[in-house]
A and B are shown apart, each in its own frame.
Chain A
Amino acid sequence: MSKSLKILCAVLALAFLSYPVAAQKLNLGRVALPEEVAAWDIDVRPDGQGLPPGKGSVKQGEELFLAQCASCHGEFGEGAGRWPVLAGGLNSLKSDRPEKTVGSFWPYLSTVYDYIRRAMPYGNAQSLSADDTYAIVAFLLNMNNIVPDDFVLSKENFGKVKLPNAEGFYDDDREKAEKAFWNKKVCMTNCKKEVTVLNKARAIDVTPEENKNAPKVD
């Protein structure tokens, strides 16, 4: 290699070295201010982390619920039309038609607070005060027969309330429980004698714009 070429290579190597950004700290973005972190820090966990200070009674909650929630969820949380049902369904989880509600299915009360705070009332999210949210959660508990009429829910007593289905969940165990789906010996020919049609979608006819005219075959 000629001397000038060597120099050129060295210069190029240097140029490239200083060019690609090594991972580490890039000084892109900026540090979030405490007020900014707080403004978005609305999430609540089962251990109570994230609950704001405050309290609210079943009675206050009832008023708020009737004014802001009942039009969709029904006066008793029974759900108007097809809007979600929020109360009832206890002991229905093994039945043919389980009814999954805050009372019958939800494992943690923190989820109720968190969800209402972030997403309800539908179409006017993040508009409820901390106290109003405590009150509405208290009323939902009362509708589900979990707390008495004179109950007041607060940040302090929040952790004492247990929901009926708290123990009803376990972590994904498909790799064990469904082990048979792996490395299965599959059959290719004459796998069964008879094939009968058990049911048809046509019979219940719930598909929109179903093509009712038989196609023409050539």
Chain B
Amino acid sequence: MDLRHKSTDQVRGNERVTSGTSGKTLDRRRFLTAAGLAGAAVATSMPALAQSPTKPDPAITELPDWSRYLGDGVAARPYGSPSKFEKNVVRRDVEWLTASRESSVNFTPLHELDGIITPSGLCFERHHGGIAEIDPAQHRLMISGLVDKPLVFTMEDLKRFPGRVNKIYFLECAANSGMEWRGAQLNGCQYTHGMVHNVMYTGIPLKTLLDQAGVRTNAKWILAEGSDSAAMTRSIPLEKALKDCIVAWGMNGEALRPEQGYPLRIVVPGWEGNMWVKWLRRIKVGDEPWQHREETSKYTDLLADGKSRRFTYVMDAKSVVTNPSPQAPLKHKGPNVLTGLAWSGRGHITRVDVSIDGGKNWSTARIDGPVLPMSLTRFYVDINWSGEELLVQSRAFDSTGYVQPTKEELRKVRGVNSIYHNNGIQTWLVHKNGETENVEVS
């Protein structure tokens, strides 16, 4: 079966946002091998079923405890947590990256997840002065600056506003993959790409609040400010604030987690995560950007000529294969599910291509699950692995026509010192023994 021409239905007609893509050519099982990519017909030599053991499997013949004895009652787990057998599925940090754990980052275990929604407790954390623990009864949001009336809201006020919205958006730190500018560094998509998460937010459009205060005609910017010990601030163009920013108190159907800004954060769809100020206490309206530390010293992109781009807000289209990856090696020859995530801050994902030979040949992946603008999008390629070395890559396409560049293409424009906005194509080398590592290829 030749896969190369089976992809166009996903690519066509993409101005429309599709929810679920079970087109007729997509639900067919498709297998991809290196040979398949080279053009030969494959899927002929599926391996035979595994040999049955000589002795019966005790997992079947012996009754386990959980089948005989009663388990925990309903009161034992008033707030449920994952099975104890999932204890590896945790956020991890890299201690040497930062001087202190209060101003640090940990990473989402992308290789352990599927679908598009990140469980709240696994969303990566980045804070600059530790987690503020705020009693919602003591929290206030103030709208001040160039407004007719400066206003103060309690959390209860905010929850009484009409026009509540629920939106799924990815949040990616601009420094995601920032350690990889000079070459492959960290072994695991959790570390190379784990500063991203995707949840459903509940809140009200920021515009609703600004309308209440009455924005003056000379206003052009807003400043969002947190009430944590870093008093995080970012300037946001008023146009964006009015277009789609949300003041959110909910994530994935419940209150924000403390580490994600409980009780209130601003949602800035498609734009770099640092702007999504957590523990939001104030929106000040002004006529100029504030040029604060996080938009000058940090989150500016130093290029090779010594000049820096600033206000590089939107996150370019990007993708990564999460399985296989260094923390999720291949363990079996024969059928395996290759999967990954793609996203774009400019719109929705229209297509993802995958290569298993380092970019010599490509095949278009199957997308499954909702395809939403500025949201993670899940892709799959069913592979048939005969134990040969693989060089796995993916490239994303978005609804503006942007195609994820190679790392080399990026470096040509941006040099290696920009830290932020590294959306280059990732390569994983799968060895013959299944072990997988982070590499760069020519």
- Interface residues of chain A, those whose CB is within 8 Å of chain B, are 20-21, 23, 25-26, 28-32, 36-37, 40-47, 72, 81-84, 93-94, 98, 100, 102, 105-108, 110-111, 114-115, 118-119, 122-123, 125-126, 168-174, 177-178, 180-184, 186-192, 194-202, 204, 206-211, 214-218
A-B contact pairs, 27 of them (CB 8 A): A20-B162, A21-B162, A29-B151, A31-B149, A44-B290, A82-B96, A82-B98, A93-B306, A94-B305, A108-B296, A115-B292, A119-B229, A123-B102, A169-B300, A182-B400, A183-B403, A190-B361, A191-B359, A197-B429, A199-B439, A201-B187, A202-B187, A207-B188, A214-B433, A214-B435, A217-B332, A218-B50
B interface size (C-beta, 8 A): 109
- CB contact under 8 A between A110 and B312, given known A41-B144, A198-B439, A201-B437: no
B308 to A188, Cβ gap below 8 A? no
For window 25-76 of chain B, which residues contact chain A by CB distance below 8 Å?
37-39, 50
A177 to B360, Cβ gap below 8 A? no
A169 to B302, alpha carbons, bound, how many Å?
Answer: 9
In the complex, besides A32-B142, A189-B361, A217-B333, 11 extra interface pairs with C-beta distance below 8 angstroms are A29-B153, A29-B212, A43-B292, A83-B99, A114-B292, A171-B311, A184-B403, A200-B439, A207-B94, A208-B95, A210-B326
Question: Which of B194-202, B239-247, B280-288 lies at the interface with chain A?
Answer: B280-288
- Give the chain B neighbours of A195 by CB distance below 8 A: 357-360, 391, 441-442
For window 388-420 of chain B, which residues contact chain A by CB distance below 8 Å?
391, 395, 400-405, 409, 413, 417
A1 to B339, alpha carbons, bound, how many Å?
Answer: 58
Say which residue of B229, B413, B438 sits within 8 Å of A123 (CB atoms): B229
B442 to A178, Cβ gap below 8 A? no
A110 to B440, alpha carbons, bound, how many Å?
Answer: 42
- CB contact under 8 A between A182 and B185, given known A123-B229, A195-B391, A199-B439: no
B157 to A28, Cβ gap below 8 A? yes
A168 to B395, alpha carbons, bound, how many Å?
Answer: 33
B331 to A218, Cβ gap below 8 A? yes
Say which residue of B310, B360, B387, B438 sits within 8 Å of A217 (CB atoms): B387
Name the residue on B nearest A197 (C-beta): B439
B377 touches A (CB below 8 Å): no
The prevalent SS among residues of B at the interface is loop
Name the residue on B nearest A105 (C-beta): B297
B293 to A170, Cβ gap below 8 A? no
- Give the chain B neighbours of A196 by CB distance below 8 A: 441-442
A198 to B183, Cβ gap below 8 A? yes
A142 to chain B: closest CB distance in Å?
A: 19
A84 to B306, alpha carbons, bound, how many Å?
Answer: 20
A170 to B310, Cβ gap below 8 A? yes
- Give the chain A neighbours of B37 by CB distance below 8 A: 189
A43 to B307, alpha carbons, bound, how many Å?
Answer: 26
A217 to B378, alpha carbons, bound, how many Å?
Answer: 26
B312 to A174, Cβ gap below 8 A? yes
A189 to chain B: closest CB distance in Å?
A: 5
A192 to B406, alpha carbons, bound, how many Å?
Answer: 14
B436 to chain A: closest CB distance in Å?
A: 9
- CB contact under 8 A between A29 and B403, given known A98-B302, A189-B361: no
- CB contact under 8 A between A201 and B438, given known A168-B307, A170-B309: yes
A197 to chain B: closest CB distance in Å?
A: 5
B150 touches A (CB below 8 Å): yes
A192 to chain B: closest CB distance in Å?
A: 6
B160 touches A (CB below 8 Å): yes
B302 to A186, Cβ gap below 8 A? no
B172 touches A (CB below 8 Å): no
For window 222-270 of chain B, which residues contact chain A by CB distance below 8 Å?
223, 225, 229-231, 233
- CB contact under 8 A between A125 and B230, given known A21-B162, A110-B291, A197-B440: yes
- Give the chain B neighbours of A106 by CB distance below 8 A: 296-297
A40 to B282, Cβ gap below 8 A? yes
A210 to B223, alpha carbons, bound, how many Å?
Answer: 41
